[in-house]
Amino acid sequence: MNVEPVQFSYDSGVPDVPLLGETIGANLDRTAARCADRDALVECATGRRWTYREFVTDVDALAVGLLEAGIGKGDRVGIWSPNRAEWTLTQYATAKIGAILVNINPAYRVHELEYVLNQAGIRLLVCARSFKSSDYVAMVEQVRPRCAELRQVVFLDTPEWRQLSGGPADPARLAGIGLSPDDPINIQYTSGTTGFPKGATLSHHNILNNGFFVGELCGYTETDRICIPVPFYHCFGMVMGNLAATSHGAAMIIPAEGFDPAATLAAVAAEACTSLYGVPTMFIAQLDLPGFADYDLSSLRTGIMAGSPCPVEVMKQVIDRMGMTEVAICYGMTETAPVSTQTRADDSLDRRVSTVGRVGPHLEVKIIDPATGLTVPRGIPGEFCTRGYSVMLGYWQQPDKTAEVIDTARWMHTGDLAVMNSDGYVSITGRIKDMVIRGGENVYPREIEEFLYTHPDILDAQVIGVPDPKYGEELMAWIRLRDGAPPLTAEALREFCTGKLAHYKIPRYVHLVTEFPMTVTGKIRKNEMRETARKLLNLD
């Protein structure tokens, strides 16, 4: 009797083109020489525009200004600002001189700001004066006396910024700096849902190549115009957005300082954008906007949806109503620069909503049994791991934390539950810590969330586990209803689910909300939801 060999959950990305073996600055110079008169950067809110020739000139001027301010290779430069042109200029200027850019979340409060300034040893901070309700000037002044290594703070829109950025663009001053693609160039602090955040340290090689290959799989050329409403402080904005653009000669379009659905659609229409980025909640907000049909989105071809799973109905509308026929789903994490898997332009709708694509070029992925560390057969869930050029150098000055996630063979252990099918496509079924065990049954919230999206009155849904004395855990659905929909009770929801979901997958509790707690990048904070639920249900 012939026995079929087991097909294990391992795959490697076969490359069509080689890795880029250069620094971010060298790559930008190469692009600018080729695309000098094409748009590089457009800031819609102010009307400011840069061609690639102008952009490199201003980047070099800021880089020289940083050198004059005493910043050199390996020094940390913080950036605390919403999406502005100056953010992007600082990103490339620090790369030109080998300074390490430290991204600071615009939503941080005083204690988080102080922690990052000290943990990264930031010497110079580039900072907006305010954003939304945050008075950055006051917050910086409050923490500054307790940050010993912070020598200088430069606020945007001040004479100090103009002095720092407005000097001569002297390429000769930059030529003698010995830079390697393997040098650390960026520190991004992870969400820190428990304890203080950790600083994922990334090299030129990590983020330049990740941006480049994301762009390759999106089919970018110098004719593309990428609308980037996602925050620059995160990889989605600065790597998948900016670096994907500059490595291909495409244009970076900034629709607004923070996400605004109307401003985003207006930017796509006014700038004839061919690509649009966002997390699912952003696309939901745009599609639900009054007057959506008035925006000319005919230029759109592609885009990226990432950050959290994409509901089927949302994907259908993004393709049908927004014209993004080649839209890609990406999966990754800050520690992997960030993208590990991506759907392709010719993938079916089903693959784009039921999977996060397959492994990217030059990368390896596998799915393991968390208990044994062994690779599981395809079709069996386990922990998603990845290895290759994209894996971070480590957490800044935290080798013990680094060793917890990167093993001796340089596999990054993500903590995400995943399944790989026979074609190598990966589905993310949740975080290991988010899996609900109800009466001995493993329940994956994503499956239930997808079903709840089929309810005509439900706009968005998130499912969590809450403590239960009988079953160990019970299911609770947090639900956003469409405008004008009648209130939805737990009884009505159970009736809708009965006969369509196994009984143990039907939520016992329903909580109606207008929004979910989430990070600035659009990731749902399920840990915070569980804490709130315990109080709401008096389960403490």
Q: Summarize the confidence of residues 24-46 as an average pLDDT.
A: 98
177 and 279 part of one domain: yes
Q: Which of 420, 449, 474 is the last residue of a domain?
A: 420
Mean pLDDT value across the chain: 93
Is there a domain that residue 158 lies in? yes
278 and 342 part of one domain: yes
400 and 447 part of one domain: no
414 and 446 part of one domain: no
392 and 524 part of one domain: no
- Tally of domains within the chain: 2
Asked, as a colleague might, if the bond just before 338 is cis with ω within 30 of 0, I would say yes
Q: What is the CATH number of the domain that holds 50?
A: 3.40.50.12780
3-state DSSP helix/strand/coil percent for the chain, to nearest 5? Answer: 35, 25, 40
Whether residue 263 is predicted with pLDDT greater than 80 in this model: the reply is yes
Is there a domain that residue 184 lies in? yes
Whether residue 108 is predicted with pLDDT greater than 90 in this model: the reply is no
Summarize pLDDT for 177-215 with one digit per residue, the tens.
999 999 999 999 986 444 578 999 999 999 999 999 999
Range of the domain at 483: 441-536
CB-neighbour burial class of residue 298 (10 A; exposed 0-12, middle 13-18, buried 19+): exposed
394 and 527 part of one domain: no
Summarize pLDDT for 272-292 with one digit per residue, the tens.
999 999 988 899 999 999 999
The predicted model scores a pTM of: 0.85
- Cβ–Cβ under 8 Å, residues 265 and 289: yes
Is there a domain that residue 147 lies in? yes
188 and 241 part of one domain: yes
What distances in angstroms separate CA 174 from CA 29, 63, 228, one per listed residue?
A: 12, 8, 29
519 and 389 part of one domain: no
| SS3 call for 193 | coil
Closest C-alpha among 81, 27, 31, 66 to residue 51: 31
Closest C-alpha among 239, 325, 229, 340 to residue 277: 229
Summarize pLDDT for 427-474 with one digit per residue, the tens.
988 777 777 878 777 787 878 888 899 999 999 999 999 988 888 889
56 and 203 part of one domain: yes
pLDDT band, residue 4 (cuts 50/70/90): confident
Is there a domain that residue 16 lies in? no
Write the single-letter amino acid at 100: I
Interacting residues of 399 by C-beta distance below 8 A, sequence separation 6+? none
367 and 301 part of one domain: yes
